[in-house]
Amino acid sequence: MSQASKKIGKQTIKFANPPYIIASAAIVGPKEGEGPLRNYFDVISDDTYFGQKSWEKAEQFLLEETMKKALQKADLLPEKIDYMLAGDLLNQTISANYTARQLGIPFLGLYGACSTMCESMALAAILVDGGFADYVLAATSSHYSTAERQYRFPTEQGVQRPPSAQRTVTGSGAVVVARQGKGPRITYATIGKVIDLGMKDANDMGSAMAPAATDTIVRHFEDTGRGPDDYDLIITGDLATIGHALTIQLAKQQGYNLEKNYTDCGILIFDPSQDTHAGGSGCGCSAVVTAGYLLKEMQNGKYRKILGVGTGALLSPCAVQQGESIPGIGHAVAIEF
């Protein structure tokens, strides 16, 4: 039997003093700014380069600007932040590394692929609730053009993408998690397990991640005694249309009906008319939907309880070259007023 006083069940933490999300910021690129959530973002750039010399430099600039915006909205200087938790998809999380160099905040770099935003929020809440920090800055980013040439093909090649493919979101989201303040609170965190059912198609990440997402959702319900009806909204990170449908099926097999109040950030971020195939993906997908749309709608009173499940396909060019399959991961955070 576990002696950890805040751990409930097998994988869930119940925070004794739930930390507050006191500020959030979201910055996106042109394609995302044309989508249905355009009014929820702090900045929409009309330039995928964001004024930089390369897309890689653009992503780092994007992450840095978003974190600065979140600090500005929290009325905090970087020196007031105890820890910065961040990650991205570029080799060795270079966007986060170089942003940490610029901001000078004690830094813990994370890699959970597209689950990184929820992972960083869960760890931020652990640090604050545990008495190790008063303020933690959590963020992540992705960029369509950097991700395509790292994981698939450079966009310049014009490779035809299958219907199962998703479009990596060009965007960054950041939140400030605090011991005291006003705003919604992080009440639970369910840390996921790596689930790998042998998928190898890098153009069908929704199917690769859905089993891990379902496993975390079901584990959260079993650990907490809650169910789908206890939340106004259950939302996964970037399973898009294919993974979303598969998650509903897998959850139903385990006795949970998600059809009433479950959606996915990859579905919300783009309109079908934008020709993004299955929908959105990338670290920035759940980050900008959470920091932009979800938290603002909580402030507006539309949602009181949300279960956000960050989903990640833990692949890399190295793994693909080794003939490996794609492991999936899902981390959940419950956010409540």
pLDDT digits (tens, 9 = 90+) for 136-192: 999 999 999 887 776 666 666 555 665 567 688 999 999 999 999 999 999 999 999
In the prediction, which pLDDT does 205 show?
80
In the prediction, which pLDDT does 276 show?
84
pLDDT digits (tens, 9 = 90+) for 15-39: 999 999 999 999 999 999 999 999 9
Mean pLDDT of the chain: 93
pLDDT digits (tens, 9 = 90+) for 230-281: 999 999 999 999 999 999 999 999 999 999 999 999 999 999 888 887 788 8
pLDDT digits (tens, 9 = 90+) for 111-135: 999 999 999 999 999 999 999 999 9
Q: d(Cα 243, Cα 276) in Å, to the nearest integer?
A: 15
CA-based nearest residue to 121, from 230, 7, 237, 5 = 237
pLDDT digits (tens, 9 = 90+) for 87-105: 999 988 999 999 999 999 9
Per-residue confidence at 64, pLDDT binned at 50, 70, 90? Answer: very high
Domains 19-178 and 185-336 equal at CATH topology level: yes
Q: d(Cα 260, Cα 304) in Å, to the nearest integer?
A: 16
Q: How many CA atoms lie within 13 A of 42 on its CB side?
A: 26
In the prediction, which pLDDT does 241 show?
93
Sequence-separated (6 or more) residues with CB below 8 Å from residue 284:
28, 140, 141, 142, 143, 168, 169, 170, 171, 172, 173
Spans of all domains in the chain = 19-178, 185-336
Q: d(Cα 110, Cα 47) in Å, to the nearest integer?
A: 27
In the prediction, which pLDDT does 1 show?
43
In the prediction, which pLDDT does 152 show?
63
What 3-state class would DSSP assign to 309? strand
Q: Which CATH architecture has domain 185-336?
A: 3-Layer(aba) Sandwich (3.40)
Beta bridge partners of 104: none
CATH topology assigned to domain 19-178: Peroxisomal Thiolase; Chain A, domain 1 (3.40.47)
Reported pTM: 0.95
